[in-house]
Amino acid sequence: MKSGKYEVLVVGGGHAGCEAALASSRLGSKT
């Protein structure tokens, strides 16, 4: 795992985690 700077950390890969990652990505956040 490489280290880097991110704006959003999504914990969990279920439905809510996937929706959170998609929404933050669409808003231009670095996930």
- The more confident residue out of 18 and 6 is 18
Tell me the pLDDT band of 18, cut-offs 50, 70 and 90: very high
Task: Identify whether the C-beta of residue 31 lies closer than 8 Å to the C-beta of residue 25.
Answer: yes
DSSP three-state, residue 28: coil
Task: Identify whether the C-beta of residue 2 lies closer than 8 Å to the C-beta of residue 27.
Answer: no
Task: Identify whether the C-beta of residue 8 lies closer than 8 Å to the C-beta of residue 24.
Answer: yes
Tell me the pLDDT band of 22, cut-offs 50, 70 and 90: very high
Whether 3 has a pLDDT exceeding 80, the answer reads: yes
Tell me the pLDDT band of 2, cut-offs 50, 70 and 90: confident
